[in-house]
Amino acid sequence: MPKYNKLRADAERRLKEGTAPIAGVSAAGTDALALLYHLASNSDSASDALKLLHELQVNQVELDLQHEQLEANEHEVTQALARYRDFYHSAPIGYFIVDLDGKIVEWNQAGARLLEIEGDEVSSLPFVSLLADQSRPALNGLLKALNSGGEASCEVHSSTNDGALRPLRIAAAPAPGGSAVLMVISEIEGPAAI
């Protein structure tokens, strides 16, 4: 059964059972109700008026059902978005989103811990500025490789707060639509080449 017919059948069933929302009655305009009353009081047009009233009631219940479904869908999407936002921010691996110029747009907690950054101090900074100087060519090469499509990866180092070098692996891919770069960053255990 097509969606429209199912909606209409559900609306008519609710009207017959008396389970239709009351909003439909108050939603009708006073002029429309006065016209229906006038048509219903005339024996020649009474049956047409009742048909019209029924049609208006069914349409109102259909609108109410569509509204309920839209609210349910919005609630579901909002919950899913919040869940995925939590997944992103609390993931055990570092995530960064950078624009096509290499400036940081968004990052998660694990990424901030790996690179020893705090709060909003990195928003709009070039990602390369968070790496040790000798790692910058590798990152620039990764970003250039992404221009040809597909995924790319490289090994880099970041400087820790105590001045030591931390070896990292970056895997990156263009974001859907190509307007940004998605980066996954993980610490490399043991020695790594630059």
For the four alpha carbons of 141, 157, 153 and 128, in that order, the dihedral sign comes to negative
Q: What is the pLDDT of residues 111-122, one digit of tens each?
A: 998 988 886 777
Q: What is the CA radius of gyration of the chain?
A: 30
Other Cβ atoms less than 10 A from the Cβ of 130: the count is 23
What is the four-CA torsion angle of 175, 179, 180, 181, rounded to 10 degrees?
50
> Tokens standing for 142?
């990764």
pLDDT, the chain, mean? 83
Map out the domains of the chain with their CATH numbers.
Answer: 3-88 (no CATH), 91-187 (3.30.450.20)
Could you tell me which of 190, 186, 166 has the C-alpha nearest to residue 108?
A: 186
Distance CA(29)–CA(173), nearest Å, equals: 56
Distances (CA, A) of 166 to 14, 34, 136, 161: 66, 79, 14, 10
Distance CA(154)–CA(137), nearest Å, equals: 10
> Tokens standing for 91?
């993931």
Q: What is the pLDDT of residues 4-60, one digit of tens each?
A: 688 788 878 887 777 776 554 444 566 666 676 677 777 777 788 778 877 888 888
Other Cβ atoms less than 10 A from the Cβ of 180: the count is 17
Token match 């950054």: residue? 117
For the ranges 23-37, 71-85, 166-180, which has the lowest average pLDDT? 23-37
The predicted pLDDT at position 57 comes to: 80
Question: What percentage of the chain has pLDDT greater than the value 90?
Answer: 37
The predicted pLDDT at position 191 comes to: 55
149 with 174: CB under 8 angstroms? yes
Task: State the DSSP code for 86.
Answer: H
What is the four-CA torsion angle of 125, 153, 107, 111, rounded to 10 degrees?
-100
Distance CA(45)–CA(150), nearest Å, equals: 70
In the structure, what pLDDT confidence band is assigned to residue 79 with cuts at 50, 70 and 90? very high
Intra-chain end-to-end CA distance of the chain, in Å: 62
Could you tell me which of 113, 116, 108 has the C-alpha nearest to residue 183?
A: 108
Mean pLDDT confidence for 146-162:
87
pLDDT value at 138 more than 80 = yes
